[in-house]
Amino acid sequence: MQAALIVYRKELVEILRDRRTLMAIGLAALATPLVLFVISQVATKTATQTYTVGYSGDIPPQLSTLLTATSLKLVPVVDPATAAKQQVDLGAAFLPGEIDEYYDPSRQGAQIASVRLETVAGQYAAAQAAAALQSLHIDPGILTPLKLVAHPLSSPVKAASNAFLSFFLPYILITMIITGGFSAALDTSAGERERRTLESLLLTPAPRSRLLLGKIGAITTISLMAAVAAIGSMFLALSQISTPGAGGSSLHISLNPAALPVMVWLALLIAVSFSAVTLAIGTLAKSFRQGQAYVTPLYFVTILPASIILFIPDFNPTLAYYLIPILNAVLVLRDAIVHNSVGWAAIAVTTVSLIATGALSWYVALRLFTREALLTKS
């Protein structure tokens, strides 16, 4: 075990002196806050932006006031339908007892203006109807014989926050763990071969399994550092940035308590197992560049199923899905974030799957590391 520790310490020192690794960790820390900042700016701009409505006909004065208060700028035009194609976000022809609306659904601004107009027009119509009934001494409640009262079991703001986290967090965690360790893994395997230092290492009496263990330990540490940098900076950014939520509320995002230990456990498992995977692949390569060509497809192959699942809302997987490495981690983490609960069976299957992946990769890496071709073909 002493030899593994010696290798671990040396690899960490060398990796941390490598600009490529430091850049990977630095980018991991900076990328997420930058993305979140851009998202929040766009969301804020979209929520507060004034959209133009080109109209014809006479607008009732109260409705005009309501529309202007909802950040809809009213501009008189001759033909609202033509204007909606080029000049304005939305065209509206105000006719007696009717509003004809013209908009292009492929334009986001037109969609938002349409929602605002429909909301305001609905409120105006309801208020007018209620006033007419009251003038006739009739209870306006007659208009709503069946009243629907919603009782959300969690805060809609929290639900939106969870939806956001369940999409971004697993993706960032897994991407950073896998890619954060790539450079380190290649440096300690293919890089060692390329620099012709491998022979001197293998000439020491230390068993090769211990040498490999030290290398895997160092790659795991670097992967976790990248993940911690990315997630830490993400939460730091989220604490500083708020995005507009529904009904004018401000959306502050926080993690459910159950998600944190699950995230830590998964991060450890993925880091260890994928360190062994990338080291095995790096051992096959004769140079750092060749190693990059080998490991890049690995990233896409592992992240692709998870990426697809993230786009399917309310995907209910059977336990068999948890056997697929990486996808299982995404599913478990998503459950913990959204439902604040831990599915023990799912966690157990995921753990077994990731440990088996790591053990198999470790075995392959050891076989590759002890083959003669490692030296004779370098």
Partner 1 sequence: MTAAVAVERLEKTLGTTRVLRGISFDAQAGEIFGLLGPNGAGKTTTLRVICTLLAPDAGTVEVMGFGTRSAPEQVRSRIGVVTADIGVYPRLSARENLEYIARLHGLSGAELSRRIDSVIERLDMGSFSKQRAESLSSGQKQKVAIARAIVHDPEVLMLDEPTSNLDVLASKEVREFMVEAKGRGKCVIFSTHVMHDAERLCDRLTILHRGQVVASGPTAEVRGSRRDLEDAFLELVGEK
Chain contacts with partner 1 (rule: CB under 8 A): 3, 6-7, 10, 13-14, 17-18, 195-207, 372, 375-376
The residue among 139 and 372 lying less far from partner 1, judged by its C-beta, is 372
**Cα distance between residue 201 and residue 370, in whole Å:** 12
How far apart are CB 184 and partner 1 at their closest, in Å?
12
The residue among 202 and 298 lying less far from partner 1, judged by its C-beta, is 202
The residue among 3 and 74 lying less far from partner 1, judged by its C-beta, is 3
The residue among 1 and 146 lying less far from partner 1, judged by its C-beta, is 1
The residue among 17 and 151 lying less far from partner 1, judged by its C-beta, is 17
How far apart are CB 185 and partner 1 at their closest, in Å?
16
| Helix boundaries (H) for the chain | 2-16, 19-48, 61-69, 80-86, 108-135, 156-188, 190-194, 198-202, 208-240, 259-284, 288-310, 327-339, 344-369, 373-376
The residue among 18 and 104 lying less far from partner 1, judged by its C-beta, is 18
Angle at 193 between CA 188 and CA 196, to 5 degrees: 115
How far apart are CB 206 and partner 1 at their closest, in Å?
5
Largest CA distance in the chain: 101
**Cα distance between residue 135 and residue 198, in whole Å:** 93
Among residues 167, 168, 263, 183, which one has the least CA distance to residue 223? 183
**Cα distance between residue 261 and residue 255, in whole Å:** 11
How far apart are CB 1 and partner 1 at their closest, in Å?
13
How far apart are CB 201 and partner 1 at their closest, in Å?
7
How far apart are CB 233 and partner 1 at their closest, in Å?
26
**Cα distance between residue 325 and residue 163, in whole Å:** 23
**Cα distance between residue 227 and residue 264, in whole Å:** 10
DSSP state of 244: E
How far apart are CB 195 and partner 1 at their closest, in Å?
5
Cβ-contact 270, 354 below 8 angstroms? yes
The residue among 45 and 195 lying less far from partner 1, judged by its C-beta, is 195
